[in-house]
Amino acid sequence: MTAGVTSPAVLLASGDTSAGSGLPEHPSRPMPMTWPQTEQPREELLERLSKPLFQPDSDEVRRAMRRGLTALLDWLDQQPGVTWQDRWLASGAEAAGPAWTDLVPGGDPSMATRPARHARTDLLSAMRLMLTGQVLRPGYPWLLRYRPSVLLEETRRRIDPAGFARLLAHCDATGRRNPLDRKNAVNRIAWILLNKGGQIRDITVGDCIELNNALREHQCNGASNRPLFYALLAEVGVLPAGAPPMLRATQMSGQRTPAELVGKYGLQNPSIRDLFVSYLAERAAELDYASLVHLASALCGLFWRDLEQHHPGIASLQLDAGIAATWKERLRQVRDHDGRLVGDRATVRSQLLIVRAFYLDIARWAAEDPSRWARWATPCPVKASECSMEKERKHRKAAMDQRTRARLPVLPALVRTAEQQRTAARARLDAALAVTPGEVFHEGGGRFMRRPNAAGRIYVTDLADGQRRDLTFEEERAFWGRATIEVLRHTGAFSRGPKWTCGAFFCFGCSGARGVSPWVRQVWWNSERCACGWVALPAGARQRRRAVALIWAMSSRLAARAAASSSSRSSSWRRRSAACCSRWVIFWLSASMSAGAPSPESFQACSPRVSESRFSSCRMRALRRAARSWAASRSVCSDVRVTAGQGAASPAAGAASVAWIWASRSRCR
């Protein structure tokens, strides 16, 4: 039985909260002990793998495959077992992971004289033959850490090419033309075939669940949250008619009982297991389900299961000083599924606090109900000083300060890069607007062909690689990325942290100061001293709420606009609302800086576009009147106008004041 079959059980034992392939109604296909390809003698195997289907076009790659296959088969011949799969499992290569090539000696004389990196390349080329020829079927832990892209491409070409062609044709028919999504979907199906064998029509719902759990365990975050492969299999009829409509639906088993939460950790001592079930049942009345799951993970997984693994037969909550000390040392480290050190745990004190609360709760309940809890009341192995969060807060503050000191010197390079990207994106968009669809143009050293407009956006084809590019999206992302950087830089948030959330923003310049002050000036709640004198700030609940709203908008909405612009366009509502909010925020800022009605330049620069018609004209007029009335009574500037750059002071103003949105752009997108 390979690791690909046992991985779901291991996942559940390690504390994974997903139902996964452990659901009895959706079991995965069992791994057979043998199959025809792995039973072939060496001569027949070499003859089959020498057919044109398995041979690459390059002569050099063919020679590398031949050398690597000879060495690999010689090594497997030395291992015990009847089939090639048996010898592979007996060799220990599954546990070695990507380092399995170090176990293979250079059996072929031609490989003995080759450098180590070349010999490894030969072995990897030979392993692709063995996998795509379905001679070996490693488990998901090995496959998902191996991850050569050429292996998946060869799998789609050599194993059921008609099935993969059918899936891609269905993607075209249903409008799924995103190349990255299509590639991710067919790659996941290729992994299932490499692990389970057979063809696409043999895949079951349990196979999909098992792969999703393995991706969550052995690859980066978010790798398991791509269910397009499941949707394709369901839509083309591979999965049965009664299959769940979505992959996520297979893992929605509802809230588990305390007994189920404790049972998935596989605790050995039944008395201790019953104790944790009773404890969670008592706490369930006062905790939400997410907190209850976290409590079970800390007590059953990080605490008691760790003790049982390192001290077999332990059956008492009263821990010796040595056992408690070694457990605390292990708790400070995070290890992967194979026991390799990943790093230090960031939540050590919170985990210790949960264990200490468990012991103290047992002691308190023992006084109230001795017959039930008294025999479990023991001294707590965690001291109160070990749970203090003050030291952790100091460490976090020191790490934040050090990160600021380390990154502040490269801030000019970040600003320069953001400006260069914005300029280049704007130049590409302007060049595309100047030509007609189908015409080729050059910009920034690249050749592009404009495509027909779609949804009011400008698309081009990069003739260097044939990829389609959305120049409107690129220009918006570059502009709002620079806008976010400039807001944080000029307000001092990069160097002074989030103190600017305490006050309101006003734009003004002082005639007595040299030059023009930054376009945003931080003003604290009480007052601010400048060349114009003391500046009075909004007083009262309504004005204070408006000031806080303005701060929050300027600090978060610009970042939200940039994030929304870089997200998928499938969430059109979020993109439209974020775009409207950002323009409305700049309009509010412009109105709040003005002592009266905005000038024609500023009104034209900051007025909402036609696309913002979802805000009724009545509501927009009310917002404008409220903003102007508040600004008129609170503003310290007698003349503020929006220009395309650093404008000159108004001659009619007693205290010259000039505000601008950005140094090179006065209109709002």
pLDDT over 70 at 515, yes or no:
no
CATH architecture of 409-480: Roll (2.30)
Q: Could you read off the pLDDT of 350-375 as tens digits, one per residue?
A: 999 999 999 999 999 999 999 999 99
Q: Which of 27-41, 167-181, 597-611, 617-631 has the lowest mean pLDDT?
A: 597-611
Q: Give the orientation angle of helix 541-552 with respect to helix 617-634, to 10 degrees.
A: 110
Residue 137 is predicted with a pLDDT of: 94
Averaged pLDDT of the chain = 74
Q: Is the pLDDT of residue 279 over 90?
A: yes
Range scoring the smallest mean pLDDT among 437-451, 531-545, 546-560: 531-545
The secondary structure of 600-641 as a DSSP string is HHHHHHH---GGGTTS-HHHHHHHHHHHHHHHHHH---S---
Residues 114-154: tens digit of each pLDDT: 677 778 888 888 999 999 999 999 999 899 887 667 899 99
pLDDT of 103 > 80? The answer is yes
What is the dihedral sign for C-alpha 652, 655, 660, 664?
Answer: positive
Does 158 score more than 80 pLDDT? yes
Question: Mind listing the pLDDT tens digit for each residue in 294-350?
Answer: 999 999 999 999 999 999 999 999 999 999 999 999 999 988 776 778 888 888 989
pLDDT at 388: 83
The reported pLDDT for the residue numbered 609 is: 40
Cβ-Cβ contacts under 8 Å for 666 (sequence gap 6 or more):
601, 605, 642, 643, 644, 645, 660
In this predicted structure, the answer to whether residue 7 has a pLDDT above a threshold of 50 is: no
What mean pLDDT do residues 251-258 have? Answer: 82
What pLDDT shows up at residue 299? 95
pLDDT of residue 177: 84
pLDDT over 60 at 412, yes or no: yes
**How buried is residue 530: exposed, middle or buried, by Cβ count under 10 Å (0-12/13-18/19+)?**
middle
Q: Rounded to whole angstroms, what are the CA distances from 516 to 130, 342, 635, 649?
A: 71, 51, 18, 9
443 DSSP β-pair partners: 446
Give pLDDT, residue 620: 53
For 15-35, what is each residue's pLDDT tens digit? 333 333 445 578 889 988 899
User: Number of helices and strands (H, E) in the chain?
Assistant: 30, 10
Report which listed range, 33-37, 648-652, 657-661, is most confident.
33-37
Q: pLDDT for 450-498, tens place per residue? A: 988 777 789 999 998 888 899 999 999 999 888 888 877 776 555 444 4
Query: Is the separation of the CB atoms in 440 and 447 below 8 Å?
Result: yes
Residue 505: is its pLDDT beyond 70?
A: no
Residue 95's pLDDT band, with cuts at 50, 70 and 90, is confident
Domain chopping of the chain, boundaries = 36-138, 147-253, 258-388, 409-480, 498-634
Identify any residues that bridge with 469 across adjacent strands, giving them in sequence order. Answer: 460
The answer to whether residue 93 scores a pLDDT higher than 80 is: yes
Inter-residue long-range contacts of 311-316, CB under 8 Å, 24+ positions, other chains counted: 312/268, 314/269, 315/269, 315/271, 315/272, 316/378
What's the angle, vertex CA 260, arms to CA 255 and CA 263, rounded to 5? 150
Residue 332 identity (one-letter amino acid): R
Residues 6+ apart with CB under 8 A from 347: none
- For the ranges 198-207, 505-514, 541-550, the one whose mean pLDDT is highest: 198-207
